[in-house]
Chains A and B, each alone.
Chain A
Amino acid sequence: MQLSHVDPAIIGVWRWHGALTALVFTVLATVFGLTVSALWPFPPILAAIAGIAFVWLWPPLAYRHLRFGVDETGIAIESGVLWRSRIALPRMRIQHTDVSQGPLERRYGIGTLKLYTAGSRHVKIELQGLNHDEALALRDALLAEGGGSGV
């Protein structure tokens, strides 16, 4: 199966998410640093540096390891930088699908495809970072030949 990368715009979305999270941690570190005055000003500085490094380095790595492929049987999704996983889902087993968009994703024109199965643990399988139109097309392609009860 030919695997391909998702829309690189997802890196921007992840950077924004990461930046917001890093900001929260920096604020917490500032509060902590102010209460423990012996450590001032190291906690907020360290938190900010770690946050910037994470926001800069991690999204491209995650992007490089996020790949997906579709064939006549179904869809396969590869993800994870350290803990890698590859999920293969036959299209017969898809119960229903969602394509969702958060505010940031809308800004970058991408969407998340969610595939639901009748399984026990892989009940919801997500594929982030698809171009929104591509996500809709993929959803329709996966559902087109579906049918049967799926269990």
Chain B
Amino acid sequence: MSWLFGLTVAIKQMVLPLIALVFFGTRDNDAGPFGPFLIPIILVALLTRALWQQWTYRYGFGPHGLVIREGLIFRNVRQIEYARIENIDTERDVLHRLLGVAAVRVQTSTGGKPEALISVLDLDAVQEMRAKVFAEGKPGEPVATIAPETTLLHLPTSELIRYGLIDNRGMIVVAAGVGVLHEFGLLSFSRAWFESFLQSSSAAGLVALGLMMQIALGVVAVVSAIVAVRILSIVLALVTLHDFRLTRQNGDLRARYGLFTRIALTLRTRRIQAVHQTESLIHRWFNRVTLNVDLAGDSGGGGDQPDANKSRARWLAPVCSASAAAALIAAALPSIDLNDEPDWQPLAPRARGRIFRRSAVLAILILTGPAIWYLHAGAIVVVLACIPLAWMHAHLYTKHTRWALARDAVMFRSGWLNRRLTIVPRDRVQALSVNASPFDRRSQMANIYVDTAGGGAMRAGIRIRYLAADVAERLATALYRTAGV
């Protein structure tokens, strides 16, 4: 059956070139000798390729690992040791669900592309594979003991609506849509178009309304655009995260979601490297937080690989109430005792002054040029306004940024508008670096970076800036002693 999915994937990839071909083929009078047969030829070629892949792709369970054979002329046999398999994720779009099968992604800690991508597998076979692989990983436990699943979090429609409002993913879709329309030349506001609009009766009517009505109309237009984008975000959230359910089985967590395409992600607790809690301003209005985890095996992908966009965000909870977050974090990091309030430590005493100077200088450097260009003498107001704003930023940032070293974890809380909390178990720390720029050294400060596996390049590990140099040194030494245990 896999040829069917191979074919649909191939057609999905080819659909734009094919449309272009049909489009230009009809316009072109001299289509060449193959003109009318070109599309059938391409389709047959794709079908052959898909069938060929199905016939040559085989997987099996070896004594030590998963064995995958592909190709007939250029043969490739891949052995994936059971103990090294980190994640088995499934994804089922509408076609998969109609036929009762799933696409399976097997990942090890190498990162980047999945080690095996089986595009169609029977659901029972997936279950068997999961049981077998994860049982082999933990020797001594018989395959048959499948503990009942307990639901840790289920998001009803009301929560998804809140998530849509917070996440605002509709904006990205609108931006992408505008980009596509622009590419096709549908958004070319030419001079002639504007002139014909200005001379039309509706424009004359607009002028007749007077300034106040014009402003009111403008405000209404902006507000309705914002509302429309938010509604789009809500619809997206309802479709992509429909029936989000986080469950625990045999100590490992699983997340399932999606209305049309159902996705099942494994979050093996012993592979969780860090937990991130994010809280934007809108999160706080609804008293909600978002929880993510970093998993070994997700890192190092690089954005240019075709599969990079497939490595899903590892939600612990796309959205959950602030009070429920603690229980979910405890479920994700069972080895860590989170009952005691950690001993939060502030940044270095002189950090506020440095952040103030730094942000004020940066803001003035960036803003002065454009402000003088647009506002002439009025620029002085803008530039002077930077100073109290920079002070406010420095004050609030130092007030809300704290770090803590617990017995088994290191935690970092930062930011005042968008607040983040990152928890890294001490036995998950990969490497530590203490860095000091010339500015740092002048004020006896340093920053520390705690590297972990599995994070993306942007949000991996913990970086604490503006620590007193001796504090950073002590923290690094303490973490280094326990990292390799």
Interface residues of A (CB under 8 A from B): 73-74, 76, 80, 82-93, 117-123, 125, 149, 151
Contacts A117-B451, A121-B449 given: A84-B431 contact, CB under 8 Å? no
What does the 1/0 interface line of B416-446 toward A look like (CB < 8 Å)? 0000000000001111111111100100000
- The CA-CA distance from A112 to B2 in the complex, in Å, is 48
Q: Residues of B contacting A89 with CB < 8 Å?
A: 430-432
Pairwise interchain contact A84-B436, C-beta atoms closer than 8 A: yes
Q: How far is the CB of A114 from chain B (nearest CB, A)?
A: 14
Pairwise interchain contact A118-B457, C-beta atoms closer than 8 A: no
What are the 4 A-B residue pairs with the smallest beta carbon separation, nearest first?
Answer: A90-B484, A120-B460, A92-B484, A119-B430
Q: Residues of A contacting B481 with CB < 8 Å?
A: 73
Q: How far is the CB of A77 from chain B (nearest CB, A)?
A: 9
Interface residues of B (CB under 8 A from A): 83-84, 109, 111, 271, 273, 296, 299-300, 428-438, 441, 449, 451-457, 460-461, 476-477, 480-481, 483-485
Pairwise interchain contact A121-B460, C-beta atoms closer than 8 A: yes
Q: How far is the CB of B148 from chain A (nearest CB, A)?
A: 29
**Chain B interface, >50% SS class:** mixed
Pairwise interchain contact B451-A122, C-beta atoms closer than 8 A: yes
Contacts A86-B433, A88-B433, A151-B271 given: A118-B476 contact, CB under 8 Å? no
Pairwise interchain contact A120-B300, C-beta atoms closer than 8 A: yes
Pairwise interchain contact B452-A85, C-beta atoms closer than 8 A: no
Neighbour of A92 across the interface among B299, B300, B435, B483, CB < 8 A: B483
Specify the chain A residue showing the minimal Cβ separation from B271: A151
Neighbour of A82 across the interface among B429, B433, B438, B480, CB < 8 A: B438
Pairwise interchain contact A90-B109, C-beta atoms closer than 8 A: no
Pairwise interchain contact A93-B431, C-beta atoms closer than 8 A: yes
* Beyond A82-B437, A83-B438, A118-B299, 14 extra complex contacts between A and B, CB < 8 Å: A73-B480, A74-B484, A82-B438, A88-B477, A89-B431, A89-B432, A90-B429, A90-B480, A93-B483, A93-B484, A118-B430, A122-B433, A149-B84, A151-B453
Pairwise interchain contact B431-A122, C-beta atoms closer than 8 A: yes
Pairwise interchain contact A73-B484, C-beta atoms closer than 8 A: yes
Pairwise interchain contact A121-B437, C-beta atoms closer than 8 A: no
Q: Residues of B contacting A120 with CB < 8 Å?
A: 299-300, 430, 451-457, 460-461
Pairwise interchain contact A87-B452, C-beta atoms closer than 8 A: no
Pairwise interchain contact A85-B431, C-beta atoms closer than 8 A: no
Q: How far is the CB of A11 from chain B (nearest CB, A)?
A: 23
Pairwise interchain contact A118-B296, C-beta atoms closer than 8 A: yes
Pairwise interchain contact A121-B457, C-beta atoms closer than 8 A: yes
Q: Can you name 26 A-B residue pairings with CB atoms under 8 Å?
A: A73-B483, A76-B480, A83-B436, A84-B435, A85-B435, A86-B433, A86-B434, A86-B476, A88-B433, A88-B480, A90-B431, A90-B483, A91-B484, A92-B483, A93-B483, A117-B430, A119-B431, A119-B451, A119-B453, A120-B299, A120-B451, A121-B457, A122-B431, A122-B433, A151-B271, A151-B430
